[in-house]
Amino acid sequence: MKKPKEIFNNINNKKKRDGGSVWLILFMLMFGAMLARSFIASPAAHMQMSNAFDGATGVAAPVKLSFSDVLRRANDIDTMTIRGNDAVGTLRDGTKYTATIAYDPETLTKLSENGATISIDTSKSWVDYLGTWVPILMGVFFIWWIFRGLRGGAGGITRGLAQQNPTKITTGKPKTTFKDVAGIDSEKQELAEIVDFLKNKEKFKAVGARVPRGVLLSGQPGTGKTLLARAIAGEANVPFFAASGSDFSGIIVGLGVAKIKEIFEMAKRNAPCILFIDEIDAIGQRRSQHSYNDQDREQTLNQLLIEMDGFSNDTGIIVIGATNRADMLDPALLRPGRFDRQVHIDLPDLSGRREILDLYAKRVKIGTDVNMQDLARGTTGFSGADLENLLNEAALHAVRGGRKEIAQADVEEARDKIIMGPRKIRKMRPEDIKLTAYHEAGHAFVSTMYADVSDPIHKATIIPRGRALGMVQQLPIDDKVSLTIAEIRANLAMYMAGRASEEIFFGADKITTGAEGDIAMATRLARYAITTAGLSPKIGLAAVNQVNTFGARGALENASEKTAEMVDAEIRAWMDAAYSDAKRLLTRNRATVEKLATELLARETLTGAEIREIVFGKNKKNAPAKKASVSAAKNKAKPKNAK
């Protein structure tokens, strides 16, 4: 009995032929026959081929006559042999000639009356027969090939193309296990039954339980769907077949169906195994009554449905699909009996990010000064692939710096590069640099003053990155699933603090467009709180905008004109209140903000501890924000129409 690895090698090394080479040979034969027919069959061609021989033997080459020359020299022509529009013969003085003439009975009669011997060659050579019968035989062979394909299904017209294996088959069993997957413990527990079934299916048979025949993994890109599928196969120690949904599409109708049949046949021959289809939405999109142009894709989907539903309970084949758009899949694909278990993989939380970082940190050299917990806190919204890329960027930065291990500065640089973009070398005017420093100092000061309700500040910098001239970063202590109204108003004040600082220190006529991003984020947050979260007493507990079919929010989809005007006025009131709150805090602490800006100009980057030391003093550098100031700020931040 062959081992799985030998079976895989035989599948990969098997030579698969299609009709492409046969058709190429036949086409070349037909083309050559047509050329030979047009060249060899003409008397002029015969004469031209004999020219070289005549020249070699010293015999004079034949003269070339035009049609007018033939008419003019009719008395000089002794013999003429006509084949089509070509004529050859000899003149009365023995000179050979070639000519192109039009078949005209009057001309031939005139030549004959002048004593010329005229003959018409109507015989057919083997070249003529080849040029006539080869196209006919090719047509007959093509019709036979089509009917053979109709009789044989996947073994017919599309067998040759389908047998060019669309799958990326591993030559053996994956070595990836659940130990190589971190940050998604709940998802691994959900899939533990699949592994248990592949190892001990008799235990399930004894109870009469039916293990899911298909598992759909959904989630954002980089969350580990493919890695998790490979880990299931590695954990169960079974073969792993992998293909992409786009591999089953082609320009020939029926090719996708043939490929689906082939990959499922291979899986059945090597069961128990894992059959993984990545980006399954490429062939599993929802069918429509009006999709006349997608008949081939729908036929491929129908074949996939048939293959998945045709399994018996003891085949040991588990189909795993992965997609980023589960909402696009056809309902028939998601019903019990096909993909009857759906596992959504979310972005990792704080503990998950720490586990992923610890896992990838084993592959690189990390310095003792790197705080992995702070790194996990500062990478909210990162997927597992993003975190792996972050450590790789940090390692590359360490190599560029001539270090043999990753330092904290390398990690900070890699995170800033991924979030904000690479560092820009810009030649900025001194006044622009100064204005940027005061802008970021305003953000940093208000963030520090709201430390009791917002995330603690991590650092402030005026180093340009991407489109931003500077930034202030905050590190969340833990993952938040919701925001209080106090946190929302504090965040609004922090967003507006940069513009407020520009106006306070440079005047209303010197404000810049640098607050563009801050205003956009503040507007989105205020609109969300008012129209979706129901946090505005004036609008009430009504969802003004709903999620549309593509997952994006459409502004004021189900609101009347009056409600829309109220929403716009309420957003403006919240924004104005936040701006007034930030402006008041900065005005009251003008000297402290100016000191922050001066330090930023001198050092370019300030850490959170350094900012707190400047704001609260050396003895109180870790003290919380002043409760009286914050409470007053929160009361001031409330709009006049809010309770």
Identify the three-state secondary structure at position 86. Answer: strand
Establish how many alpha carbons lie within 13 A of residue 583's alpha carbon, considering only the half-sphere containing its beta carbon. 14
3-state secondary structure 538-589: CCCCCCCCCECCCCCECCCCCCCHHHHHHHHHHHHHHHHHHHHHHHHHHHHC
CB 286 within 8 A of CB 335: no
Tokens in use for 177?
């296990």
- 174 burial (CB, 10 Å; 0-12 / 13-18 / 19+) is buried
* Helix extents (H) in 507-548: 516-531
| Radius of gyration, CA atoms only, the chain | 40
Angstrom distance (rounded) from CA 479 to CA 497: 25
Phi/psi of residue 475, nearest 5 degrees = -110, 120
Phi/psi of residue 34, nearest 5 degrees = -65, -40
Angstrom distance (rounded) from CA 604 to CA 557: 45
Q: How would you classify residue 10: left for phi > 0, otherwise alpha for psi between -120 and 50, otherwise beta?
A: alpha
CB 472 within 8 A of CB 414: no
DSSP string, 443-486: HHHHHHHTTTTSPPEEEEE---BTTBS-EEEE--SS--S---HH
In the sheet that 96-100 helps form, which strands lie side by side, from edge to edge?
Answer: 63-65, 96-100, 86-91, 77-83, 117-120
Active site residue 599: no
Q: In which element (H, E) is residue 51 found?
A: helix 43-57
Residue 458 CB neighbours (<10 A): 20
One of 262, 413, 440, 570 is an active-site residue; which one? Answer: 440
Tokens in use for 176?
């990836």
Angstrom distance (rounded) from CA 214 to CA 100: 75
Nearest to 596 by CA among 430, 457, 407, 395: 457
DSSP string, 175-235: ---GGG--S-HHHHHHTHHHHHHHH-HHHHHHHT----SEEEEEESTTSSHHHHHHHHHHH
Angstrom distance (rounded) from CA 283 to CA 294: 10
Q: Is the CA virtual torsion 478, 480, 483, 488 positive or negative?
A: positive
DSSP string, 371-436: -HHHHHHTTTT--HHHHHHHHHHHHHHHHHTT-SSB-HHHHHHHHHHHHH-SBP-----HHHHHHH
Active site residues: 440
